[in-house]
Structure 1
Amino acid sequence: MLNMIIFSFFVGIIGTGIGGLVAFIYKKPTNRLISTTLGFAGGLMLAVVCFDLLPEAFEVGGLINGIVGMVIGVLLVTYFDMWVGEVLPNNHNMKGIDYIKMGVLMGMAIAVHNFPEGLAIGTSFSTSKELGMSLMLVIGLHDIPEGIAMAAPMSIGGVNKFKVFMYTVLSGIPTGVAVLIGLYLGKISPMVISQSMGFAGGAMLYVTCGEMIPRSRNIYRGRISVLGMIFGVIGGIIITRIFR
């Protein structure tokens, strides 16, 4: 039991870190490859948010709580969108800054998303070992596409590959912290978990629909970005259904 709890502390770090390894495949990517990757990552996130994260938020705390969290998430990430663009270093070209901003915003959303996931793992272990282990595996697998969605734009924007990997690892730390909180506090208010999940879902939808998917279409006008997005959605559905 203790070993499983310790491993649960690292599950978010491992999941997003594995996704972050995608940064190491980029050397001199063509516009076609960049477009496909962004489309695929956007499709993955769209599926995970719409078919897993938001339905779970509505189920845990009701439709109203989930939507309230979504609206707050969209408004806050809109503010961050403007703020991040002003504070990013200007030693990158404008195109690179846009990609880095996209990755930073996704990282913020993922970090917020990982906290209620950790609470869910911790409270599950406080109920039963089997339930906690099952949820730990599911969440770890779900974190992989999130790491990809964060790493791909940052890597394309010119951020050092090792730094990209470390950023994805850091975004998983809130999961571990929340596991311990959930374990010792027992059942957390469903309203808090629902609003937190809704907040993360709204933030991710903003970045996915407002940045990743449109940019994938602008970079390369062929059909490849659309196909990448479709296969990303299919991949996200498989992850959310098989490993649920």
Structure 2
Amino acid sequence: MQSSEIVANTPVALLLTTLAGISTGIGGVLVVLQSSLSYPKLGIWQGAAAGFMLSVSAFDLLPEALEDISATHAFFSSITGALFFLFLKFLIPEPDLSQVSELQETGIDKQNLKQVLLSGFLVAMGIAIHNFPEGIAVCFASLKGIRFGVPLAIAIGLHNIPEGMAVALPVYFATRSKYKAIQIAFLSGLAEPAGVVLVVFFAKYFLTETFVAYLLASVAGIMSCLSIVELVPQAWKYAGTKNGFFSITGGFLLMTLLLKTVSLLHIGIE
């Protein structure tokens, strides 16, 4: 792949990845339209978010990575990603809820809300990092022609909607701010066009298919660790073990179905 080809196709790739990326905002809008929020509902959505991420890691990121690197390299890249997530979690300060006026009125436990809000920020970070190589994937597909880029962008946009909901819900639950919930959902999706920018400026230096494969494996480690360390415990805590299990399983199956749709679209255009 020549860098001149990448530059020539940048406008189309940037448009497609931006449209796919901002569909996370649609998920945020769907969240704030809900009439009521509760801890059990939060737990169900946290479980679904965990299922989304585990499915993406197992059936999208790792298989893509294994096409260009060995299983051993993919494994150690995933471990590196997981350790990177734990390091970031250690560095992130405890969220400040001093501006949330509803706390005094509702008597909601501040410590629980801080944990929920922190998980929202971590999910947003995980989704953003995950969306970054997706932008690169759409860019690569667009180089083959718009008939390759459009179906992939549509498919990615569809599966970004539940990801946007996973990002927005904990933020909306903790702050009761519709603006903040939708904003963070949109921002997490903007990592996709950022991937195109990286391709344009750095492709000729180091952005090879092998490098992207290492990146995908690392992201799989980040998202799996985030799911297991943050989201699964919250699903069980707030929704109960039974409902938490079903929400995790349901999210996993739903995202797997969406990823299968993406795969069928690839087969149809080849």
Question: TM-score of the superposition, structure 1-length normalised?
Answer: 0.88
Are positions 1:68 and 2:85 aligned together? no
Q: Is the 8 A contact 2:136 2:199 kept in 1?
A: yes
Residue 20 of structure 1: aligned partner: 28
Please tell me whether the aligned partners of residues 69 and 199 of structure 1 are also in contact (alpha carbons under 8 angstroms).
Answer: yes
* Deviation by residue 1:86-141 (Cα, 9 ceiling, x = unmatched): 25225261111111111111111221122211111112222333222232222222
Identity %: 24
Query: What corresponds to 1:38 in structure 2?
Result: 46
Q: Secondary structure at the match of 2:22?
A: helix
> 1:122 touches 1:181 (CA, 8 Å); kept in 2?
no
Query: Which of 53, 69, 91 matches 1:83?
Result: 91
The code of the aligned residue for 2:124 comes to G
**Following TM superposition, by how much is the alpha carbon of 1:50 offset from its aligned partner in structure 2, in angstroms?**
1.4
Greater displacement, 46-55 / 186-195: 186-195
Q: Distance in 2 between matches of 1:131 and 1:61?
A: 24
Question: 2:114 corresponds to which letter in structure 1?
Answer: I
Q: 2:225 aligns with which of 189, 200, 206?
A: 206
Is the alpha carbon distance of 1:201 and 1:222 closer, same or farther for their aligned partners in structure 2, counting shifts above 3 Å? Answer: closer
Q: Secondary structure at the match of 1:89?
A: coil
After TM superposition, give the deviation of residue 75 of structure 1 in Å. 0.9
Deviation sequence 1:8-27 (CA, Å, 0-9, x none): 14134322112222430445
Residues 17, 153 of structure 2: 8 Å contact kept: no
CA distance in 2, matches of 1:126, 1:183: 12
Q: Aligned residue for 1:137? A: 154
Classify 1:104/1:143 alpha carbon distance in 2 versus 1 (closer, same or farther; 3 Å). Answer: same
Q: TM-score normalised to the size of structure 2? A: 0.80
Letter paired with 2:153: M
The verdict on how the C-alpha distance between 1:61 and 1:22 changes in structure 2, with shifts beyond 3 A counting, is farther
Distance across 1 between alignment mates of 2:89 and 2:158: 28
RMSD, matched Cα: 2.4
Change (3 A) 1:170 1:208: same
Q: Sort the Cα spacing of 1:9 and 1:101 in 2 relative to 1 into closer, same or farther, 3 A.
A: same
Count of matched residue positions in the alignment of Structure 1 and Structure 2: 243
In structure 2, runs of 5+ residues without a counterpart are: 1-8, 101-109, 264-270
AA in 1 matched with 2:169: A
Shift of 1:189: 1.0
- Per the alignment, residue 192 of structure 1 pairs with 211
Is the alpha carbon distance of 1:103 and 1:60 closer, same or farther for their aligned partners in structure 2, counting shifts above 3 Å? farther
Question: Is the 8 Å Cα contact of residues 14 and 196 (structure 2) preserved in structure 1?
Answer: no
Distance in 2 (CA, whole Å) between partners of 1:10 and 1:126 is 16
Deviation of the 1:212 alpha carbon: 0.9
Q: CA deviation at 1:159?
A: 5.1
Corresponding letter in the other structure for 1:88 = P
Query: What residue number does 2:124 align with?
Result: 107
Q: Any residues of structure 2 matched to 1:108-187 within 5 Å, and which?
A: 108-158=125-175, 160-182=177-199, 185=203
The more displaced of 12-21 and 113-122 is 12-21
User: Considering only CA atoms, is the larger Rg found in Structure 1 or Structure 2?
Assistant: 2
> 1 CA distance for matches of 2:90 and 2:240?
27
